[in-house]
Amino acid sequence: MNTNDVLYIVVPCYNEEEVLPRTAKCLEEKLVALISAGRVSDRSKVLFVDDGSSDSTWNIIMELHKSNSMFSGLKLSRNRGHQNALLAGLMTVKDRCEICISMDADLQDDVNAVDQMIEKYREGCDIVYGVRSSRKKDNVFKRMTARGFYGIMKLMGAQTVYDHADYRLMSRRALEALSEFKEKNLFLRGIVPLIGFRSDTVPYERGERVAGKSKYPLRKMLAFAVDGITSFSSRPLRYITVAGFLIFLVSIVMIVSFIVQWALGGTVSGWASIVCSIWGMGGLIVLSLGIIGEYIGKIFVEIKQRPSFIVDELVDGNDGTGAEDGESTE
Ligand code: UDP
Ligand code: MG
């Protein structure tokens, strides 16, 4: 078994002073167990990312780091939100580890799933998603909004892993691929599946927040959902085009039916022409908006500068160092 694989556990923290000492203890125990079982290198660490907390979160991280070199910290200049804090952490550990696992600070994600994630990594997966096995612990409201969210995402054509929060393992090359995505409007759950590579899921039971309050009130949750949908799809624009076309079609049908009725002598004069113009013009206006939208959609895709491809493997006799096959320089 390869014990040289350095594991970094990345934990974004925003005003988590109440829960952080317990989280640290829990992660330390896990890491020590993994190291002594020889499953990860003894240089493995936990990286806490302080997302501009206004409480003593950073002091706690500093204390932890002083007392145990297993803990490291990254402090952002101000609060940038969970996704940005997480990305900052991932990009920091990218060149320092072979395996990285991201999880929340509140111990909602079952730490024991880490073992299975590493197991899958050993089997050759580059990305392992932690997926909630049930939503029993959630209230009806959260459950329904979550279901609605994944449903809409799917309808809009954005690929997400169902019931997966940001608890996941990523290999070094998956992190490198992630760094190729230049977009600023971040929604990691949508981007990570775009990376590709061999991936798998590990089910886990998501518990209650151990201490402190949720940093995701309804307002932030809605903003997160809208961001997720609008950054991954220009399909809403296509729907506008289709709607405009359908409305225009209705006006054509109306005109035909009014002509028929007129021929049969059954129309009220004046009414038909007004209704037809309203539907006809309305349809054309919406259709034009849709067409403009299509172009904006193209700009939207271009401006993200996403990588056109990510290479999984290259099999080539030439190793790129100039040495030809058979003429080994060894
Ligand atoms: N978080 C963060 N920045 C923020 C909000 C949240 O880094 O602006 C972190 C928070 O400390 C936690 C994780 O994101 O580790 C998830 O937040 P929370 O548990 O409050 O969300 P919930 O589980 O209630 O959806
Ligand atoms: Mg939470």
Show pLDDT as tens, one digit a residue, over the chain (330 residues).
Answer: 557 899 999 999 999 999 999 999 999 999 999 999 989 998 999 999 999 999 999 999 999 999 999 999 999 999 988 999 999 999 999 999 999 999 999 888 889 999 999 999 999 999 999 998 877 777 788 788 888 888 887 887 777 888 888 999 999 999 999 999 888 777 888 889 989 899 999 999 888 877 788 877 778 878 888 877 788 778 888 899 999 999 999 999 999 998 898 888 877 778 888 888 999 999 999 999 999 998 998 888 888 888 877 776 777 777 665 544 444 444
CA distance 114 to 31: 10
CA dihedral of residues 150, 151, 157, 161 (deg, nearest 10): 30
Output the pLDDT for position 326. Answer: 46
CA distance 32 to 30: 6
Ligand 1 lined by 126 (C-beta under 6 Å): no
CA angle in degrees (0–180, nearest 5) for 108-109-115: 150
Output the pLDDT for position 288. Answer: 93
Output the pLDDT for position 97. Answer: 92
Output the pLDDT for position 120. Answer: 93
Residue nearest to atom 23 of ligand 1 (CA): 214
Output the pLDDT for position 321. Answer: 59
Cβ neighbours of 69 (radius 10 Å): 10
Q: Which residue in the block uniquely carries the two structure tokens 């402190």?
A: 212
Can you count the helices (H) and strands (E) in the chain?
Answer: 10, 7
Residue nearest to atom 25 of ligand 1 (CA): 216
Which mutation among 104, 110, 222 tests ligand 1's pocket best, with the greatest number of atoms within 8 A of CB?
Answer: 104
- Tell me the pLDDT tens digit for each residue of 62-120: 999 999 999 999 999 999 889 999 999 999 999 999 999 999 998 888 899 999 999 99
Q: How far is the CA of 103 from the centre of ligand 1 (A)?
A: 10
Output the pLDDT for position 328. Answer: 45
Residue nearest to atom 13 of ligand 1 (CA): 104
Output the pLDDT for position 330. Answer: 41
Output the pLDDT for position 74. Answer: 93
Ligand 1 lined by 81 (C-beta under 6 Å): yes
Output the pLDDT for position 327. Answer: 45
Cβ neighbours of 115 (radius 10 Å): 15
Q: Taking each helix axis from N to C terminus, what angle separates 20-36 and 113-122, rounded to the nearest 10 degrees?
A: 40
Ligand 1 lined by 166 (C-beta under 6 Å): no
Can you give the length of the chain in residues?
330
Q: Which ligand 1 atom is at minimum distance from the Cα of 14? A: 11
Q: Taking each helix axis from N to C terminus, what angle separates 218-232 and 140-155, rounded to the nearest 10 degrees?
A: 10
